[in-house]
Amino acid sequence: MKKSSEVRDELNAVSPSFCLAKWLQVTIHLQNGHTHSCHHPMTHKVSLDELAYDPSALHNTSEKKEYRKQMLEGTRPKECQYCWNIEDAHPDNLSDRTFKSADDWAYTRLGEISTAPWDRSVNPAYIEVSFGNECNFKCAYCAPHISSGLMTEYLKHGHYSGMPQFSLDNIRDLGQFPYSKDEHNPYVDAFWKWWPSASKDLKTFRITGGEPLLNPNTYRFFEFLRQNPMPDLSLAINSNLGIPRGTLDKFIREVKYITDHKLIKDFQFFTSVDTYGKNAEFIRFGLDYDEYMENVKLFLREVPQAQLIFMCTYNAFSVLNFRKFLDQVIELKRAHKNEWNYTKVFLDTPYLKDPRFLSCYVLTEDFWPVVRADLEYMKQFAVGDAPGDALFYEHEVSKFERILNWLENLEESMHRQGMRRTLYDFIQEYEDRKGIRFHDYCPEYAAFYELCKYS
Ligand code: SF4
Protein backbone atom coordinates (compact mmCIF):
# COMPACT_ATOMS: atom_id res chain seq x y z
CA MET A 1 0.00 0.00 0.00
CA LYS A 2 1.37 3.40 -1.04
CA LYS A 3 1.91 6.14 1.49
CA SER A 4 -0.73 8.88 1.27
CA SER A 5 1.87 11.57 0.56
CA GLU A 6 3.19 9.52 -2.40
CA VAL A 7 -0.32 9.27 -3.81
CA ARG A 8 -0.74 13.04 -3.36
CA ASP A 9 2.46 13.56 -5.38
CA GLU A 10 1.20 11.26 -8.13
CA LEU A 11 -2.08 13.16 -8.27
CA ASN A 12 -0.22 16.46 -8.39
CA ALA A 13 1.87 15.17 -11.28
CA VAL A 14 -1.38 15.01 -13.26
CA SER A 15 -2.52 18.34 -11.86
CA PRO A 16 -2.66 20.00 -8.41
CA SER A 17 -6.44 19.85 -8.48
CA PHE A 18 -6.79 16.28 -9.79
CA CYS A 19 -8.96 13.93 -7.71
CA LEU A 20 -10.08 10.44 -8.70
CA ALA A 21 -13.29 10.70 -6.67
CA LYS A 22 -14.68 13.09 -9.28
CA TRP A 23 -14.63 10.21 -11.78
CA LEU A 24 -15.07 7.15 -9.62
CA GLN A 25 -17.30 7.97 -6.67
CA VAL A 26 -20.93 9.03 -6.75
CA THR A 27 -23.83 9.50 -4.38
CA ILE A 28 -27.20 9.48 -6.15
CA HIS A 29 -30.52 10.53 -4.64
CA LEU A 30 -33.01 8.84 -6.94
CA GLN A 31 -36.04 10.21 -5.07
CA ASN A 32 -35.37 13.64 -6.60
CA GLY A 33 -32.72 13.04 -9.27
CA HIS A 34 -29.83 14.72 -7.46
CA THR A 35 -26.24 13.58 -7.66
CA HIS A 36 -22.79 14.58 -6.41
CA SER A 37 -19.25 13.30 -6.23
CA CYS A 38 -17.95 12.80 -3.77
CA HIS A 39 -20.38 13.50 -0.91
CA HIS A 40 -18.73 16.84 0.04
CA PRO A 41 -19.93 19.09 -2.81
CA MET A 42 -23.56 20.23 -2.95
CA THR A 43 -25.79 17.99 -5.03
CA HIS A 44 -26.93 19.03 -8.49
CA LYS A 45 -29.91 17.91 -10.52
CA VAL A 46 -29.55 15.33 -13.27
CA SER A 47 -31.20 16.51 -16.48
CA LEU A 48 -33.94 14.17 -17.70
CA ASP A 49 -32.95 15.10 -21.28
CA GLU A 50 -29.42 13.83 -20.68
CA LEU A 51 -30.75 10.69 -19.01
CA ALA A 52 -32.98 9.91 -21.97
CA TYR A 53 -30.00 9.09 -24.18
CA ASP A 54 -27.46 8.11 -21.51
CA PRO A 55 -28.57 6.57 -18.18
CA SER A 56 -24.98 6.91 -16.92
CA ALA A 57 -25.75 10.65 -16.67
CA LEU A 58 -26.82 9.74 -13.13
CA HIS A 59 -23.07 9.92 -12.56
CA ASN A 60 -21.54 11.43 -15.71
CA THR A 61 -23.55 14.67 -15.82
CA SER A 62 -22.34 17.40 -18.16
CA GLU A 63 -21.82 19.58 -15.08
CA LYS A 64 -19.52 17.01 -13.50
CA LYS A 65 -17.63 16.54 -16.77
CA GLU A 66 -16.88 20.26 -16.73
CA TYR A 67 -15.40 19.87 -13.24
CA ARG A 68 -13.32 16.93 -14.45
CA LYS A 69 -11.99 19.10 -17.28
CA GLN A 70 -11.06 21.78 -14.76
CA MET A 71 -9.27 19.21 -12.64
CA LEU A 72 -7.24 17.89 -15.56
CA GLU A 73 -6.27 21.48 -16.46
CA GLY A 74 -5.20 22.32 -12.91
CA THR A 75 -8.19 24.51 -12.05
CA ARG A 76 -9.90 23.93 -8.75
CA PRO A 77 -13.64 23.28 -9.09
CA LYS A 78 -15.42 25.61 -6.68
CA GLU A 79 -17.69 22.81 -5.49
CA CYS A 80 -14.67 21.07 -3.91
CA GLN A 81 -13.97 23.92 -1.50
CA TYR A 82 -14.06 21.43 1.39
CA CYS A 83 -10.74 19.97 0.22
CA TRP A 84 -9.15 23.27 -0.85
CA ASN A 85 -9.75 24.70 2.63
CA ILE A 86 -7.86 21.81 4.19
CA GLU A 87 -4.99 21.93 1.69
CA ASP A 88 -4.63 25.71 1.98
CA ALA A 89 -4.46 25.62 5.77
CA HIS A 90 -0.96 24.07 5.64
CA PRO A 91 1.25 22.89 2.74
CA ASP A 92 1.63 19.43 4.32
CA ASN A 93 -2.09 18.92 4.83
CA LEU A 94 -3.68 16.05 3.00
CA SER A 95 -7.36 16.32 2.13
CA ASP A 96 -9.93 13.77 1.03
CA ARG A 97 -8.68 14.42 -2.51
CA THR A 98 -5.70 12.28 -1.49
CA PHE A 99 -7.38 9.89 0.94
CA LYS A 100 -10.17 8.96 -1.43
CA SER A 101 -7.84 8.71 -4.42
CA ALA A 102 -5.52 6.46 -2.39
CA ASP A 103 -8.27 3.96 -1.64
CA ASP A 104 -7.98 0.70 -3.54
CA TRP A 105 -11.17 1.30 -5.49
CA ALA A 106 -9.72 4.50 -6.92
CA TYR A 107 -5.94 4.24 -7.03
CA THR A 108 -5.83 1.19 -9.31
CA ARG A 109 -7.49 3.28 -12.05
CA LEU A 110 -5.21 6.32 -11.85
CA GLY A 111 -3.51 5.62 -15.20
CA GLU A 112 -6.77 4.98 -17.04
CA ILE A 113 -8.56 8.08 -15.70
CA SER A 114 -5.67 10.54 -16.01
CA THR A 115 -5.12 9.76 -19.70
CA ALA A 116 -8.76 9.50 -20.86
CA PRO A 117 -10.50 12.45 -22.56
CA TRP A 118 -12.25 14.65 -20.01
CA ASP A 119 -15.68 14.18 -21.58
CA ARG A 120 -15.61 10.37 -21.62
CA SER A 121 -18.27 8.74 -19.44
CA VAL A 122 -16.80 6.35 -16.90
CA ASN A 123 -18.16 3.59 -14.70
CA PRO A 124 -17.78 4.46 -11.03
CA ALA A 125 -16.00 2.21 -8.56
CA TYR A 126 -18.02 3.44 -5.58
CA ILE A 127 -21.76 4.08 -5.69
CA GLU A 128 -23.91 5.25 -2.85
CA VAL A 129 -27.58 5.31 -3.76
CA SER A 130 -30.85 6.27 -2.16
CA PHE A 131 -33.66 4.53 -4.05
CA GLY A 132 -36.35 6.65 -2.40
CA ASN A 133 -37.40 8.56 0.69
CA GLU A 134 -39.76 5.92 2.14
CA CYS A 135 -39.16 5.99 5.86
CA ASN A 136 -41.31 5.22 8.87
CA PHE A 137 -39.28 7.50 11.20
CA LYS A 138 -39.65 11.26 11.67
CA CYS A 139 -36.34 12.17 13.28
CA ALA A 140 -35.93 15.64 14.77
CA TYR A 141 -33.01 16.65 12.55
CA CYS A 142 -34.20 15.01 9.32
CA ALA A 143 -35.91 16.56 6.29
CA PRO A 144 -39.04 15.75 4.26
CA HIS A 145 -37.19 14.93 1.04
CA ILE A 146 -35.31 12.23 2.97
CA SER A 147 -38.19 10.82 5.03
CA SER A 148 -41.67 10.17 3.65
CA GLY A 149 -42.93 10.11 7.26
CA LEU A 150 -41.74 13.69 7.68
CA MET A 151 -43.13 14.63 4.26
CA THR A 152 -46.62 13.60 5.45
CA GLU A 153 -46.12 15.70 8.57
CA TYR A 154 -44.88 18.73 6.60
CA LEU A 155 -47.75 18.50 4.12
CA LYS A 156 -50.11 18.80 7.09
CA HIS A 157 -48.27 21.28 9.33
CA GLY A 158 -45.66 22.98 7.14
CA HIS A 159 -42.03 23.34 8.20
CA TYR A 160 -40.78 23.90 11.76
CA SER A 161 -40.26 27.59 12.38
CA GLY A 162 -36.58 26.97 13.19
CA MET A 163 -36.03 25.03 9.96
CA PRO A 164 -37.08 27.28 7.04
CA GLN A 165 -34.48 25.59 4.81
CA PHE A 166 -36.74 22.53 4.77
CA SER A 167 -39.91 24.39 3.79
CA LEU A 168 -41.65 22.58 0.98
CA ASP A 169 -41.43 25.72 -1.20
CA ASN A 170 -37.67 25.83 -0.71
CA ILE A 171 -37.30 22.14 -1.45
CA ARG A 172 -39.39 22.59 -4.60
CA ASP A 173 -37.32 25.62 -5.69
CA LEU A 174 -34.11 23.60 -5.30
CA GLY A 175 -35.55 20.80 -7.45
CA GLN A 176 -35.37 18.45 -4.46
CA PHE A 177 -39.05 17.63 -4.08
CA PRO A 178 -39.14 13.83 -4.05
CA TYR A 179 -41.20 11.42 -6.10
CA SER A 180 -43.53 9.52 -3.78
CA LYS A 181 -43.31 5.73 -3.74
CA ASP A 182 -46.50 5.44 -5.81
CA GLU A 183 -45.34 7.78 -8.58
CA HIS A 184 -43.45 6.68 -11.67
CA ASN A 185 -39.82 7.77 -11.11
CA PRO A 186 -37.71 8.10 -14.29
CA TYR A 187 -34.52 8.26 -12.22
CA VAL A 188 -35.13 4.80 -10.78
CA ASP A 189 -35.83 3.51 -14.31
CA ALA A 190 -32.57 5.06 -15.51
CA PHE A 191 -30.66 3.49 -12.62
CA TRP A 192 -31.74 -0.05 -13.57
CA LYS A 193 -31.07 0.65 -17.26
CA TRP A 194 -27.55 1.78 -16.32
CA TRP A 195 -26.95 -0.95 -13.72
CA PRO A 196 -25.67 -3.79 -16.02
CA SER A 197 -22.89 -1.44 -17.12
CA ALA A 198 -22.46 0.45 -13.82
CA SER A 199 -22.01 -2.77 -11.85
CA LYS A 200 -19.11 -3.95 -14.05
CA ASP A 201 -16.34 -1.93 -12.35
CA LEU A 202 -18.01 -1.53 -9.00
CA LYS A 203 -16.01 -2.21 -5.84
CA THR A 204 -18.26 -0.63 -3.21
CA PHE A 205 -22.02 -0.32 -3.27
CA ARG A 206 -23.84 1.38 -0.43
CA ILE A 207 -27.62 1.62 -0.19
CA THR A 208 -28.97 4.44 1.92
CA GLY A 209 -32.34 6.12 2.23
CA GLY A 210 -35.01 6.88 3.43
CA GLU A 211 -35.16 3.43 4.95
CA PRO A 212 -33.63 1.01 2.43
CA LEU A 213 -35.21 -2.08 3.99
CA LEU A 214 -38.65 -0.70 3.14
CA ASN A 215 -37.76 -0.04 -0.51
CA PRO A 216 -38.50 -2.77 -3.09
CA ASN A 217 -35.42 -1.78 -5.12
CA THR A 218 -33.18 -3.09 -2.33
CA TYR A 219 -34.70 -6.54 -2.84
CA ARG A 220 -34.46 -6.15 -6.62
CA PHE A 221 -30.73 -5.69 -6.07
CA PHE A 222 -30.57 -8.90 -3.98
CA GLU A 223 -32.38 -10.71 -6.79
CA PHE A 224 -29.79 -9.39 -9.26
CA LEU A 225 -26.99 -10.65 -7.00
CA ARG A 226 -28.44 -14.16 -6.85
CA GLN A 227 -28.22 -14.30 -10.66
CA ASN A 228 -25.01 -12.27 -10.98
CA PRO A 229 -22.58 -12.82 -8.09
CA MET A 230 -20.14 -9.95 -7.48
CA PRO A 231 -17.33 -11.60 -5.49
CA ASP A 232 -15.20 -8.41 -5.50
CA LEU A 233 -17.96 -6.20 -4.14
CA SER A 234 -18.05 -4.63 -0.69
CA LEU A 235 -21.71 -4.10 0.08
CA ALA A 236 -23.03 -1.73 2.74
CA ILE A 237 -26.62 -0.99 3.71
CA ASN A 238 -27.97 1.57 6.16
CA SER A 239 -31.05 0.96 8.28
CA ASN A 240 -32.99 2.41 11.18
CA LEU A 241 -33.75 -1.20 12.22
CA GLY A 242 -37.19 -0.08 13.31
CA ILE A 243 -39.07 -1.92 10.59
CA PRO A 244 -41.82 -4.57 10.93
CA ARG A 245 -40.52 -7.99 11.97
CA GLY A 246 -41.65 -9.71 8.75
CA THR A 247 -39.63 -7.21 6.67
CA LEU A 248 -36.60 -7.63 8.89
CA ASP A 249 -36.81 -11.43 8.59
CA LYS A 250 -36.97 -11.13 4.79
CA PHE A 251 -33.93 -8.84 4.76
CA ILE A 252 -31.94 -11.14 7.05
CA ARG A 253 -32.80 -14.13 4.83
CA GLU A 254 -31.43 -12.28 1.79
CA VAL A 255 -28.23 -11.13 3.48
CA LYS A 256 -27.68 -14.57 4.95
CA TYR A 257 -28.03 -16.10 1.50
CA ILE A 258 -25.59 -13.75 -0.22
CA THR A 259 -23.00 -14.03 2.56
CA ASP A 260 -23.37 -17.83 3.03
CA HIS A 261 -22.95 -18.30 -0.73
CA LYS A 262 -20.13 -15.75 -0.96
CA LEU A 263 -21.90 -13.78 -3.69
CA ILE A 264 -20.09 -10.64 -2.47
CA LYS A 265 -16.73 -9.95 -0.84
CA ASP A 266 -18.03 -8.52 2.45
CA PHE A 267 -21.05 -6.94 4.05
CA GLN A 268 -21.29 -3.98 6.39
CA PHE A 269 -24.55 -3.11 8.09
CA PHE A 270 -24.80 0.51 9.25
CA THR A 271 -27.55 1.18 11.74
CA SER A 272 -28.53 4.52 13.25
CA VAL A 273 -29.06 5.28 16.92
CA ASP A 274 -27.85 8.38 18.74
CA THR A 275 -27.91 7.45 22.42
CA TYR A 276 -29.72 5.28 24.96
CA GLY A 277 -33.39 4.62 25.67
CA LYS A 278 -36.08 7.31 25.77
CA ASN A 279 -33.59 10.08 24.90
CA ALA A 280 -32.87 8.22 21.65
CA GLU A 281 -36.60 7.72 21.05
CA PHE A 282 -37.17 11.47 21.41
CA ILE A 283 -34.64 12.49 18.79
CA ARG A 284 -35.31 9.60 16.39
CA PHE A 285 -39.08 9.62 16.46
CA GLY A 286 -40.48 6.20 15.56
CA LEU A 287 -37.74 4.31 17.39
CA ASP A 288 -38.55 1.72 20.04
CA TYR A 289 -35.15 1.44 21.68
CA ASP A 290 -35.55 -1.99 23.33
CA GLU A 291 -36.98 -3.50 20.17
CA TYR A 292 -34.15 -1.88 18.21
CA MET A 293 -31.50 -3.54 20.38
CA GLU A 294 -33.28 -6.89 20.03
CA ASN A 295 -33.17 -6.43 16.24
CA VAL A 296 -29.45 -5.64 16.41
CA LYS A 297 -28.83 -8.86 18.35
CA LEU A 298 -31.00 -10.88 15.97
CA PHE A 299 -29.07 -9.58 12.96
CA LEU A 300 -25.69 -10.31 14.56
CA ARG A 301 -26.76 -13.84 15.49
CA GLU A 302 -28.20 -14.65 12.09
CA VAL A 303 -25.50 -13.10 9.88
CA PRO A 304 -22.22 -13.90 11.60
CA GLN A 305 -20.12 -12.92 8.54
CA ALA A 306 -21.31 -9.30 8.65
CA GLN A 307 -19.87 -6.28 10.41
CA LEU A 308 -22.32 -4.02 12.20
CA ILE A 309 -21.57 -0.32 12.63
CA PHE A 310 -23.61 1.89 14.95
CA MET A 311 -23.97 5.31 13.32
CA CYS A 312 -24.42 7.65 16.23
CA THR A 313 -25.09 11.24 15.19
CA TYR A 314 -24.06 12.75 18.51
CA ASN A 315 -26.42 15.60 19.36
CA ALA A 316 -27.64 17.66 22.31
CA PHE A 317 -29.72 14.78 23.67
CA SER A 318 -27.02 12.15 23.23
CA VAL A 319 -24.95 13.25 26.19
CA LEU A 320 -26.55 12.40 29.51
CA ASN A 321 -27.36 8.73 28.91
CA PHE A 322 -24.55 7.93 26.51
CA ARG A 323 -22.72 5.74 29.05
CA LYS A 324 -25.61 3.27 29.14
CA PHE A 325 -25.49 3.05 25.35
CA LEU A 326 -21.70 2.59 25.45
CA ASP A 327 -22.13 -0.32 27.88
CA GLN A 328 -24.46 -2.06 25.48
CA VAL A 329 -22.06 -1.46 22.58
CA ILE A 330 -19.20 -2.90 24.64
CA GLU A 331 -21.24 -5.97 25.51
CA LEU A 332 -22.05 -6.52 21.82
CA LYS A 333 -18.44 -5.93 20.78
CA ARG A 334 -17.35 -8.61 23.22
CA ALA A 335 -20.02 -11.09 22.20
CA HIS A 336 -19.47 -10.83 18.43
CA LYS A 337 -15.93 -11.47 17.26
CA ASN A 338 -14.42 -12.99 14.17
CA GLU A 339 -12.18 -16.06 13.98
CA TRP A 340 -9.12 -13.94 14.88
CA ASN A 341 -10.85 -12.61 18.01
CA TYR A 342 -11.45 -9.13 16.56
CA THR A 343 -14.82 -7.54 17.16
CA LYS A 344 -17.32 -7.23 14.33
CA VAL A 345 -19.25 -4.41 16.02
CA PHE A 346 -18.10 -0.80 15.62
CA LEU A 347 -19.15 2.64 16.76
CA ASP A 348 -19.05 5.71 14.53
CA THR A 349 -19.76 9.07 16.18
CA PRO A 350 -20.08 11.90 13.67
CA TYR A 351 -21.57 14.89 15.47
CA LEU A 352 -24.67 16.76 14.41
CA LYS A 353 -23.89 20.13 12.85
CA ASP A 354 -27.30 21.11 11.45
CA PRO A 355 -29.74 22.17 12.62
CA ARG A 356 -27.50 23.89 15.13
CA PHE A 357 -30.16 24.19 17.80
CA LEU A 358 -30.29 20.40 18.09
CA SER A 359 -26.52 20.02 18.17
CA CYS A 360 -24.24 20.08 21.23
CA TYR A 361 -23.52 23.70 20.30
CA VAL A 362 -26.47 24.73 22.49
CA LEU A 363 -25.32 22.85 25.60
CA THR A 364 -23.59 24.55 28.52
CA GLU A 365 -20.17 23.84 29.99
CA ASP A 366 -21.54 21.65 32.75
CA PHE A 367 -22.20 18.96 30.11
CA TRP A 368 -18.52 18.74 29.10
CA PRO A 369 -17.37 16.61 32.09
CA VAL A 370 -19.93 13.98 31.11
CA VAL A 371 -18.50 13.84 27.59
CA ARG A 372 -14.96 13.77 28.93
CA ALA A 373 -15.78 10.91 31.33
CA ASP A 374 -17.32 8.91 28.47
CA LEU A 375 -14.20 9.46 26.40
CA GLU A 376 -11.99 8.21 29.26
CA TYR A 377 -14.33 5.25 29.66
CA MET A 378 -13.96 4.35 25.96
CA LYS A 379 -10.18 4.60 26.30
CA GLN A 380 -10.23 1.96 29.06
CA PHE A 381 -11.59 -0.49 26.48
CA ALA A 382 -9.13 0.55 23.78
CA VAL A 383 -6.15 -1.29 25.21
CA GLY A 384 -5.20 -4.95 25.54
CA ASP A 385 -2.29 -7.36 25.39
CA ALA A 386 -3.62 -10.08 23.10
CA PRO A 387 -5.11 -9.56 19.60
CA GLY A 388 -8.73 -8.54 19.93
CA ASP A 389 -8.49 -7.56 23.60
CA ALA A 390 -9.01 -3.92 22.70
CA LEU A 391 -12.70 -3.45 22.02
CA PHE A 392 -12.52 0.11 20.71
CA TYR A 393 -10.16 0.96 17.88
CA GLU A 394 -8.11 4.11 17.66
CA HIS A 395 -10.36 5.57 14.95
CA GLU A 396 -13.44 5.07 17.12
CA VAL A 397 -11.87 6.80 20.11
CA SER A 398 -10.38 9.68 18.13
CA LYS A 399 -13.67 10.36 16.39
CA PHE A 400 -15.35 10.73 19.77
CA GLU A 401 -12.45 12.79 21.09
CA ARG A 402 -13.00 15.23 18.23
CA ILE A 403 -16.41 16.04 19.71
CA LEU A 404 -14.91 16.92 23.08
CA ASN A 405 -12.24 19.07 21.43
CA TRP A 406 -14.92 20.96 19.56
CA LEU A 407 -17.04 21.49 22.67
CA GLU A 408 -14.16 22.62 24.86
CA ASN A 409 -13.25 25.28 22.31
CA LEU A 410 -16.75 26.76 22.08
CA GLU A 411 -17.18 30.22 23.50
CA GLU A 412 -20.39 31.42 25.07
CA SER A 413 -22.20 33.88 22.78
CA MET A 414 -25.48 35.60 22.05
CA HIS A 415 -25.80 33.29 19.08
CA ARG A 416 -25.70 30.20 21.29
CA GLN A 417 -28.23 31.72 23.64
CA GLY A 418 -30.49 32.46 20.67
CA MET A 419 -30.15 28.86 19.51
CA ARG A 420 -31.30 27.69 22.96
CA ARG A 421 -34.47 29.69 22.59
CA THR A 422 -34.94 28.26 19.07
CA LEU A 423 -34.59 24.80 20.60
CA TYR A 424 -37.23 25.58 23.21
CA ASP A 425 -39.65 26.78 20.49
CA PHE A 426 -38.86 23.72 18.40
CA ILE A 427 -39.67 21.41 21.31
CA GLN A 428 -43.10 23.05 21.71
CA GLU A 429 -43.89 22.45 18.02
CA TYR A 430 -42.41 18.93 18.15
CA GLU A 431 -44.56 18.00 21.17
CA ASP A 432 -47.73 19.27 19.47
CA ARG A 433 -47.09 17.53 16.18
CA LYS A 434 -45.97 14.26 17.65
CA GLY A 435 -48.43 14.21 20.55
CA ILE A 436 -45.72 13.66 23.17
CA ARG A 437 -44.24 15.43 26.19
CA PHE A 438 -40.56 16.29 26.26
CA HIS A 439 -40.31 15.55 29.99
CA ASP A 440 -41.55 11.97 29.47
CA TYR A 441 -38.59 11.33 27.16
CA CYS A 442 -35.82 13.54 28.48
CA PRO A 443 -36.40 14.22 32.20
CA GLU A 444 -32.61 14.41 32.73
CA TYR A 445 -32.59 17.60 30.65
CA ALA A 446 -35.20 19.45 32.77
CA ALA A 447 -32.79 22.12 34.05
CA PHE A 448 -31.38 22.69 30.58
CA TYR A 449 -34.93 22.96 29.21
CA GLU A 450 -35.68 25.73 31.71
CA LEU A 451 -32.50 27.52 30.67
CA CYS A 452 -33.60 27.35 27.03
CA LYS A 453 -37.05 28.64 27.92
CA TYR A 454 -35.63 31.81 29.45
CA SER A 455 -32.82 32.36 26.95
S1 SF4 B 1 -11.53 17.16 -4.40
FE2 SF4 B 1 -12.41 16.64 -2.42
S3 SF4 B 1 -14.53 17.39 -2.51
FE4 SF4 B 1 -13.76 17.24 -4.61
S5 SF4 B 1 -14.37 15.24 -5.35
FE6 SF4 B 1 -12.29 15.05 -4.53
S7 SF4 B 1 -12.58 14.42 -2.40
FE8 SF4 B 1 -14.52 15.21 -3.10
104 in any annotated domain? yes
- Ligand 1 atom closest to the Cα of residue 22 is 5
Which residues of the chain, if any, have pLDDT below 70? 1
**Which amino acid does the sequence have at 194?**
W
Q: Are 150 and 433 in contact (CB under 8 A)?
A: no
Q: How far is the CA of 64 from the centre of ligand 1 (A)?
A: 12
Ligand 1 binding pocket includes 100 (Cβ within 6 Å): yes
82 in any annotated domain? yes
Q: Are 202 and 228 in contact (CB under 8 A)?
A: no
Ligand 1 binding pocket includes 188 (Cβ within 6 Å): no
Which pLDDT belongs to residue 37?
A: 86
Which pLDDT belongs to residue 1?
A: 67
347 in any annotated domain? no
Which residue is closest in CA terms to ligand 1's atom 7?
Answer: 97
Q: What is the CA radius of gyration of the chain?
A: 22
8 in any annotated domain? yes
374 in any annotated domain? no
Q: How far is the CA of 185 from the centre of ligand 1 (A)?
A: 29
Ligand 1 binding pocket includes 124 (Cβ within 6 Å): no
Identify which of 8, 66, 97, 99 to mutate to test ligand 1's pocket (most ligand atoms within 8 A of the CB): 97
367 in any annotated domain? no
Identify the domain containing residue 49 by its residue range. Answer: 4-129
Question: Could you give the CA distance from residue 37 to residue 26 in angstroms, rounded to a whole number?
Answer: 5
pTM of the model: 0.94
Ligand 1 binding pocket includes 145 (Cβ within 6 Å): no
Which residue is closest in CA terms to ligand 1's atom 6?
Answer: 97
What is the pLDDT of the chain when averaged over all its residues?
96
219 in any annotated domain? no
Identify which of 26, 59, 95, 96 to mutate to test ligand 1's pocket (most ligand atoms within 8 A of the CB): 96
The domain total for the chain is 1
Q: How far is the CA of 452 from the centre of ligand 1 (A)?
A: 39
